[in-house]
Amino acid sequence: MKRIIFLVLSFIFFLIVSARSQVFKSSGMQNAGYSVYAIDAETGRVIFETPQVSLVPASVMKVITTAAALEILGPDFRFHTQVGYNGQIVAEKGLLDGDLVLRGGCDPAFYSEYFSEYYKGTFESWAKALDRKGIRSINGDLIVDLSNFDGFSVPGGWVWEDIGNYYGAGVSSLSYSDNLYRIHFSSAGDSGKPVTISSISPAIDSLRLINKVLSANSNRDLTVVYGAPGSFSQIIEGTIPKGASDFVVKASIPDPARCAAIEFIKVLKSSGIKLSGKILTVSHLKESDFNPIAEKESPVLRELIVPLNHESLNLFAEHLLLEIGRARKGVPDLAVSVAALKEFWTEKKVFIDGFYPTDGSGLSRSNGICSRTLAEVLRYMYLGSNRDYYFNSLPVAGKSGTLQYAFKGTKLENNLCAKTGSMTRVRSLAGIFANASGKAVIFSIITNNFEGTQTETGHSIEELINELYTLDATPAGPGK
């Protein structure tokens, strides 16, 4: 009897919400997949749910990754990037008879624009540290040590149209400046004309950029950069607005570690420190060949996840995923890290049916997840010791990040905080708000393969959540 009552109540709530929400009644959702789950944050009682199907989550995947990182690595976790040397210092000659070593620490924020003040002057301070050691010239090479993570990689499942663009930049043991560079264009006053590249910053030696971009009447950036990690040959095509004197497009750096090394050498030179050799990259370096001189710690993890979730930084999320693998399995390997992520949430008794993670950021279309999984992870964090750190990292409706313009003029403005997700034919949202009764409600919504625009679907999702705002928790179902 209890089960029958629960099913009837659930069906009634479903009819109430679906009848009033554009998400379910609009023609754009007739052939779409969708999954919704809303629960009372304190008790876990279900407020509303649809049948649970595994869907592509887009960037709400970061809900899972950042939560696991806080729990596994801890809110005070830091990355460490170091400079040191091998060989001998001949102080009376001001000479390092050996190599200078720049050791990557897998820090995604190293010289990031989101922490520009924090890292400002790091290379200069390292040059001063060398001077204090009596090093004024280096009779050797600059060794870039990538031992902490071998190579420069993007996850499987990322599409060709993404990986050359700034948001598709792969991870590196020595990530630098968000692993992106800026292409500055100027365009003609007429549409359909070739545009000119005026500059690239930072300058990248050996880069061969094939420019196929045209001017257009559209005022949007409609360019795509094609380029594989490690390849210094890239193609950019598409359109930018006509009549632009300095239109900037961001692309992924082919080799961020080398770019960092070049910038460091520039600082050494301006500080009067001479380097006789060249830049060499190594994947493995014996500890006996590394004598540390100085290091730069990253901001603590609880600070790193704020821009990660507010601005949906794929690079940061992928770095954290690899650290999860390193912490739990001793190996910062993608496949190992993905398995460790799933294993962790299994241990926490989170619903993981249909959970198929392939990256940490959600950029891969191979990811699959049910809305219930997202909601249960959010509730786990709500009841845990890292609650404030976690929810403070999420954008606030009508105020910050990717929700800055959402829910304006509604009861959810400055009330709801959530992670957004979007890619072609995918729109998702997962977070928390206080409902009309003052109860904390955790929700998750994923839509796939809808017709219409992202904006239209986003407005429909907002309407659904505004309806959920008026509902209270239903009695718990069997086994709840």
Domain(s) labelled CATH 3.50.80.20 in the chain stretch across 80-150+257-299
Is residue 108 scored above 80 in pLDDT?
yes
Q: Find out whether the peptide bond into 202 is cis, omega within 30 degrees of 0.
A: yes
Burial 414-444, CB ≥16 within 10 A → b, else e: ebbbbbbbbbebbbbbbbbbebeeebebbbb
Residue 33: closest CA among 471, 369, 442: 369
* Cβ–Cβ < 8 Å for 397, 414: yes
**CATH T-level fold of 13-76+302-468:** Beta-lactamase (3.40.710)
336, containing H or E segment:
helix 334-347
pLDDT digits (tens, 9 = 90+) for 123-135: 999 999 999 999 9
Quote the pLDDT of residue 285.
86
Enter the tokens of residue 252.
Answer: 């992924």
Greater confidence (75 vs 19) lies with 75
Interval 92-96 mean pLDDT: 94
**Amino acid in position 157:** G
Interval 194-221 mean pLDDT: 94
3-state secondary structure of 303: helix
Domain(s) labelled CATH 3.40.710.10 in the chain stretch across 13-76+302-468
Quote the pLDDT of residue 19.
43
**CATH T-level fold of 80-150+257-299:** D-tyrosyl-trna(Tyr) Deacylase; Chain: A; (3.50.80)
pLDDT digits (tens, 9 = 90+) for 3-55: 544 444 444 455 444 444 445 556 566 777 889 999 999 999 999 999 999 99
Adjacent-strand bridge partners of 429: 420, 445
Q: In what order do the strands lie in the sheet with 291-297?
A: 279-282, 142-145, 100-103, 80-85, 291-297
**Amino acid in position 25:** K
pLDDT digits (tens, 9 = 90+) for 135-169: 999 999 999 999 998 665 888 789 999 999 999 99
Quote the pLDDT of residue 472.
63
Is residue 414 scored above 80 in pLDDT?
yes
Q: What is the DSSP string of 103-149?
A: E----TTTT-GGGHHHHTTHHHHHHHHHHHTT-SEESS-EEEE-TTS
Greater confidence (92 vs 151) lies with 92
Quote the pLDDT of residue 267.
97
Percent of the chain whose predicted confidence (pLDDT) is above 70: 91
pLDDT averaged over every residue in the chain: 91
Residue corresponding to tokens 């909601």:
375
3-state secondary structure of 47: strand
34, containing H or E segment:
strand 33-40
Which segments within 260-409 are labelled E, that is strand?
274-275, 279-282, 291-297
- Does the pTM surpass 0.75? The reply is yes
Quote the pLDDT of residue 24.
56
Residue corresponding to tokens 């072609």:
424
Interval 272-287 mean pLDDT: 92
